[in-house]
Each structure stands twice: as structure tokens, then as C-alpha cells.
């Protein structure tokens, strides 16, 4: 079995982190980070490509040297260069990088200026106020660090859903190839499509005598077998992720799938309903007077209690049982409903593929339209577009639209919302575009009032259409900035603006609760990928997952509309 893309990407990211702390050439560090991003987002397994002797150096950001390192990882499970630098840079510094907000640059300053080598060193330095005077920190940052250190458990952060998928799907295929196996499915928070998962719960049905448990424990990525029996086993993968396997008979499949999918609060609510009817429900079935009356399918279980089938994404005990009883469950949006992607980048700024590449890849996915939204000038780190370069891109889009069939490219830009609430380009330029998406990339530490008013002032501009990644969070890396999202949603409703559900796996912003709030307040959303490469267009499914957890239907999402209807939605004046 091939080493997963996510584990290869982690090794390169760790190498880049330690090199940056060690003061290596920034271009070298960036090369490894770019490689990690390409590997993580690539739709095919690096292991399979190595096995088929494909040229990895043809991938964006992967040169001959990095391609050789990928081959080494796949074939030997290690990266010698990483092992060498770990002898120079204290290994304990990697723990510090697990604390949200402490990236390599800050860790480097802490190590260089205060000789901080461990979490305990960091705690003492924050308590004695030695961090606030360091460049790039300050009192507020010091307090935040202390708060995070005091709540740090020593455990790695929960795994991003996209990374879990990269690990889980090859394992699923591996188990399905086992003789005698009938069905294999991943349950738990993975099936509920939560944005992060703590472990993986695999459920299988198999014929008597199948060696599926033994095959499970022999999986190449298993680092430790915690337990192994006839019908259950627990392992830790080399990445540290725990995976549990349960083998159940066909007659109990529905009950086991429901039980192990959860959530715990959803299961307790259904168990309470069973108790009131003098029934018992567990992972083996539903029983009355010790007689099994349901359990082969989940639908049968819900039907027994007078409920419509509840999609896994809704099973959080947030009103779904009452809605199922009253036949008010939403018909959740699906990937098939999406007609286009309204947020992506090209080589004109910080993307990895050309305008034509992105358009043709979107057409292959069946989209009717896309919006090219390269960054505006304020984001200099991304080589943002000024008015002149943007107009040249508009001309290029017009030419390409004349050549392409079955897809339309909308002219657009990702505009920075500046600190005072103005937009990064003048209205005389913005009026020439089909739409704008507007976002915050700076001044994250404004007060709640100032940050909220900043966005509302920006929304006053009639050329403001979509508020992109509205809270600015990066999962496991950066907290959301302080903003009154309810006021922002209300402001969007008043002004005819929309909010984005950003499908980038580290963002998934809006989150599920905010999606549901937007729906309740009557504000539509756009589900978009923020793709910086062709392969990242496939991330749309994660945005849809988030929207489904927020109870959104196709009618709540603007990019489920035909192009003519969509164009009308963006006309505020």
C-alpha cells in the first residue's frame, strides 16, 4: 500500500518549519511548502505514481530534487534530510508549533532570543512577561500564548477532514479487497463530515471465516496494534491517528452504522425515545421484550420511531429529530447542484495554473461558469493586481470566452477590505467586473466593534458582492478574528450581499453553525473552493459538506443558479 499524500506532505511541511527556524534560505523553505501543498491537494496517490514510474517533476512546484525525495519517502518511509536537521534544531520545538498561532517565525524568535526549547519554558516565559517585548509579539499575544499553553493537552490537533479522507479512502479500498468482505464503511465524525476528526471508526460486514481483522492489522501504515480480536481491532497509524474496526452481521448492520456514526447526543435522544416506548436500542438492533424488531438498515430504525431518514451530517441533536418527526427536514444541497465555482486564483497572482488551465479543468468537472478572482494590489505577498493588470486580465478573459465552449468565465477579483472599510480598487474599475468577492487579509486584531464596522462599511459599496472566508480562521492554525457575525449577516441581508462558504480544507469558513444562522436570517451563500491549483477545484465537496451540516439546501446557495439568474443577483445598482 502507498504512503498517503497527507503523510508525505506533513514530512515536507515539518522540514520547511525546521529549516525556517534554522535560518535557511527562504526560497528553499517556500519550495518545500509549495511541494507539500501540491502533494496534499493532488487527486492521485504519490505512491501509485511512483509505482507506475511516472515523472513527479511534471507536477506544479515539484522539481527533480523534490521528486527524488518523494520517491525516497514512498519506498523507505523516511526523509533523511529531515532526520539530519532534527539533530541541529531541538526536537521539542515541534511541540511548540502544535500550539495555535505559533508558526516557525515566532518559534524561531522565542528560541533565538529567550532560549525557549519546550512548552514548559514557554509557559514560564509568558507568566513572567518576557514574551511581550519580543519583536512581533506584544502584551495581547503573550496573554493569548499563556492561555493556549495552559489548555494544551500535549495531544496533536484533531485531523482535518480532508487529511482524514486521504488516509481513510486507501485503507477502505484495501479492506474491500479482502476475501469474504461484503461492505465496509467509515462511520463516526468522518461520516457526519465534521471539519476535523479525532479518530476513524470503520464498520464491516463479512462472511464467516473472513480474515478482515487480520488484514486490517497488517495494513502497511499501521504503527501499533493496540488490540485485535475476532470481530474488533484497534490500531494506531504511523501518523498517530487511531483507527477502530468493527465487524458485524448483516442483520445488525443498520443498528451498528447508526450507533457508530453518532453523534453521542443524537444517539442518546433516540435511546430516550426508545425507553419511553419500552424498547431498547443499541449497536445490535432495536428490541422490545427481548425480541429484535429492527436493525438491518438505518431507515428501518428511524421509521420504527415515526421519523424520516436523517442524513448523517444532521445528526447532532440540534433539532433534526423534531424536524424528521414533523416532516420538515431540509433536502440538503449536494455537489451535483453546484453549477460553478466563484473563487479561484491563477498564475497572475499566487495560483499555480493559468487562466486557461483553470477554465478547462472546471469545464471537465461539468461547471457552467467560473469566476477568476485573483488578489488585488494590497496583498503584495501574492503579487496582487492593480487596476492596469486587472484590466489586462479582463481582456484575456474576454478573448478566452470567445474560444471556449460549454463554460463562461466571469470577470472578478478578490478585493482586500482595508482597515477603514474601503475596498482596494476604485469603483471606476470595479464597475467593469461581473462580480467581486471581498475579504480581510490584514489587521486581524481590531476590536470586535471596529472589525464589524469595517466589514459593514465595505458592504455599503454597491460593488461589494460576496464576503469571502468571513471569520478569517485557519483550522488548527489561526483563530477567527473577533467579529459580530450576526450583525454582519444582518448587514448583508439589508444590502443585498452574500457570504462565502470557503471550501479550502483549512478554512471551511463559514462553519456549520454560521451557515444555519445565515439560512435562518435569509442570507444566501456561495460555496467556492478558493482554489490555487487545478487539483484544488476538487475541494468543492468539503464546502458542500459544511453547508449540509448547516442545513443548507440548493435554494440557499447562489452558485446552484443558472448563469443568467446568477448575473442578476450581483446587480445592486
Average pLDDT on 20-27 reads: 85
Domain ranges for the chain, please list them: 5-151, 159-247, 252-325, 335-569
**CA–CA dist 325, 327 (Å, integer):** 6
Which of 245, 179, 184 is closest to 216 using CA atoms? 245
Average pLDDT on 8-37 reads: 86
For residue range 441-498, list pLDDT tens digits in order: 999 989 999 999 999 999 999 999 999 999 999 988 788 999 999 999 999 999 999 9
Average pLDDT on 89-94 reads: 76
**CA–CA dist 465, 564 (Å, integer):** 16
Apex 369 CA angle, 572 and 510, nearest 5: 65
**CA–CA dist 238, 220 (Å, integer):** 9
Q: Which residues of 524-544 are buried (b: 16+ CB within 10 A; e: fewer)?
A: bbbbbbbbbbbbbbbbbbbbb
> In which band, very low, low, confident or very high, does the pLDDT at 40 lie, cut at 50, 70 and 90?
confident
For residue range 401-438, list pLDDT tens digits in order: 999 989 999 999 999 999 999 999 999 999 999 999 99
**CA–CA dist 504, 564 (Å, integer):** 27
Name the residue with cell 496494534: 225
| Fold of the CATH domain 252-325 | Beta Polymerase; domain 3 (3.30.210)
Cell reading at 458: 465595505
Which of 535, 504, 509 is closest to 5 using CA atoms? 535
For residue range 295-307, list pLDDT tens digits in order: 999 999 999 999 9
CATH for the stretch 159-247: 3.30.460.10
* Strands 414-416 and 437-439, bridge-based pairing: parallel
Say which range, 39-48, 313-322, 339-348, has the weakest mean pLDDT. Answer: 39-48
pLDDT of residue 153: 59
Cell reading at 463: 460593488
C-alpha torsion 447→452→453→458, nearest 10: 130
Which phi and psi angles does 367 have, rounded to 5°? -75, 150
C-alpha torsion 36→199→217→225, nearest 10: 100
Give a three-class secondary structure readout of 286-335.
EEECCEEEECCCHHHHHHHCCCCCCCHHHCCCCCHHHHHHCCCCCCECCH
Q: Which CATH superfamily is domain 5-151 in?
A: DNA polymerase beta, N-terminal domain-like (1.10.150.110)
What is the per-residue DSSP string for 452-495? HHHHHHHHTSTT--EE-STT--BTTTBPPP---HHHHHHHHHHH
List Cβ neighbours of 150 (8 Å cut-off, separation of 6 or more). Answer: 123
Cβ–Cβ under 8 Å, residues 393 and 354 = no
For residue range 323-381, list pLDDT tens digits in order: 999 999 999 999 999 999 999 999 999 998 999 999 999 999 999 999 999 999 998 88
Angstrom CA distances, 210 to 169, 230, 254, 255, 543, stand at 21, 10, 20, 21, 38
Residue 336: CA atoms inside 13 Å, Cβ hemisphere, count? 2
Cβ–Cβ under 8 Å, residues 241 and 249 = no
Cβ–Cβ under 8 Å, residues 256 and 184 = no
> In which band, very low, low, confident or very high, does the pLDDT at 1 lie, cut at 50, 70 and 90?
very low
For residue range 381-399, list pLDDT tens digits in order: 889 999 999 999 999 999 9
| Residue 421 Ramachandran class (φ > 0 left, ψ -120 to 50 alpha, else beta) | left
Burial of 421 (0-12, 13-18, 19+ CB in 10 A): middle
What's the CATH class of domain 335-569?
Answer: alpha beta
Cell reading at 115: 532560549
Amino acid at each position: 500500500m502507498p504512503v498517503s499524500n497527507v503523510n508525505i506532505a506533513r514530512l515536507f511541511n515539518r522540514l520547511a518549519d525546521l529549516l525556517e527556524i534554522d535560518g535557511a534560505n527562504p526560497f528553499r523553505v517556500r519550495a518545500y511548502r509549495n511541494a507539500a501543498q501540491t502533494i496534499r491537494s493532488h487527486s492521485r496517490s504519490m505512491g501509485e505514481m511512483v509505482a507506475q514510474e511516472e515523472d513527479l517533476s511534471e507536477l506544479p512546484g515539484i522539481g527533480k530534487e523534490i521528486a527524488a525525495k518523494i520517491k525516497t519517502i514512498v519506498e523507505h518511509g523516511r526523509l533523511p534530510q529531515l532526520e539530519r536537521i532534527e539533530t541541529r534544531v531541538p526536537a521539542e520545538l515541534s511541540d511548540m508549533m502544535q500550539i495555535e498561532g505559533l508558526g516557525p517565525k515566532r518559534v524561531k524568535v522565542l528560541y533565538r532570543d529567550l532560549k525557549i526549547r519546550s512548552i514548559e519554558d514557554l509557559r514560564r516565559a509568558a507568566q513572567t512577561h518576557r514574551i511581550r517585548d519580543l519583536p512581533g509579539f506584544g502584551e495581547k499575544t503573550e496573554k493569548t500564548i499563556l492561555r493556549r499553553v495552559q489548555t494544551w493537552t500535549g495531544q496533536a490537533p484533531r485531523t482535518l477532514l480532508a487529511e482524514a479522507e486521504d488516509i481513510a479512502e486507501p485503507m477502505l479500498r484495501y479492506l474491500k479487497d479482502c476475501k469474504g468482505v461484503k461492505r465496509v464503511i467509515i462511520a463516526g465524525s468522518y461520516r457526519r463530515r465534521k471539519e476535523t476528526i479525532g479518530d476513524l471508526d470503520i464498520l464491516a460486514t463479512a462472511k464467516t471465516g473472513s480474515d478482515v481483522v487480520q488484514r486490517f492489522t497488517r495494513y502497511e501504515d499501521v504503527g501499533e496494534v493496540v488490540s485485535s480480536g475476532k470481530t474488533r481491532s484497534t490500531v494506531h497509524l504511523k501518523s498517530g491517528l487511531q483507527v477502530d474496526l468493527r465487524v458485524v452481521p448483516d442483520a445488525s448492520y443498520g443498528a451498528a452504522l447508526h450507533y457508530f456514526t453518532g453523534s453521542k447526543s443524537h444517539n442518546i435522544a433516540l435511546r430516550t425515545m426508545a425507553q419511553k416506548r419500552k424498547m431498547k436500542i443499541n449497536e445490535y438492533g432495536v428490541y422490545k421484550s427481548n425480541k429484535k424488531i429492527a436493525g438491518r438498515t438505518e431507515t428501518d430504525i428511524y421509521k420504527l420511531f415515526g421519523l424520516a431518514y436523517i442524513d448523517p451530517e444532521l445528526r447532532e441533536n440540534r433539532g433534526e429529530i423534531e424536524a424528521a418527526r414533523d416532516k420538515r427536514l431540509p433536502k440538503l444541497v449536494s455537489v451535483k447542484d453546484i453549477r460553478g465555482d466563484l473563487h479561484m486564483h491563477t498564475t497572475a497572482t499566487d495560483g499555480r495554473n493559468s487562466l486557461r488551465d483553470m477554465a478547462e479543468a472546471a469545464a471537465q468537472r461539468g461547471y457552467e461558469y467560473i469566476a477568476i478572482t485573483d488578489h488585488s494590489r494590497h496583498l503584495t505577498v501574492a503579487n496582487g493586481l492593480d487596476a492596469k493588470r486587472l484590466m489586462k486580465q479582463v481582456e484575456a478573459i474576454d478573448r478566452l470566452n470567445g474560444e471556449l465552449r460549454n463554460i463562461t468565465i466571469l470577470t472578478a477579483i478578490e478585493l482586500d477590505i482595508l482597515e477603514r472599510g474601503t475596498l482596494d480598487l476604485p469603483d471606476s474599475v470595479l464597475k467593469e467586473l461581473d462580480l467581486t468577492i471581498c475579504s480581510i487579509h490584514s489587521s486581524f486584531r481590531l476590536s470586535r466593534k471596529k472589525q464589524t464596522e469595517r466589514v459593514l462599511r465595505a458592504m455599503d459599496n454597491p460593488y461589494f458582492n460576496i464576503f469571502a472566508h468571513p471569520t478569517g480562521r485557519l483550522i488548527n492554525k489561526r483563530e477567527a478574528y473577533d467579529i459580530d457575525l450576526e450583525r454582519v449577516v444582518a448587514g448583508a441581508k439589508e444590502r443585498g450581499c452574500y457570504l462565502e462558504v470557503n471550501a479550502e480544507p483549512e478554512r471551511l469558513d463559514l462553519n456549520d453553525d454560521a451557515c444555519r444562522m445565515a439560512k435562518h436570517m435569509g442570507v444566501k451563500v456561495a460555496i467556492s473552493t478558493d482554489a490555487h491549483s487545478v487539483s484544488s477545484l476538487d475541494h468543492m465537496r468539503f464546502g458542500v459538506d459544511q453547508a449540509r451540516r448547516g442545513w443548507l439546501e440548493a435554494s440557499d446557495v447562489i452558485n446552484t443558479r443558472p448563469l443568467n439568474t446568477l448575473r442578476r443577483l450581483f446587480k445592486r445598482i
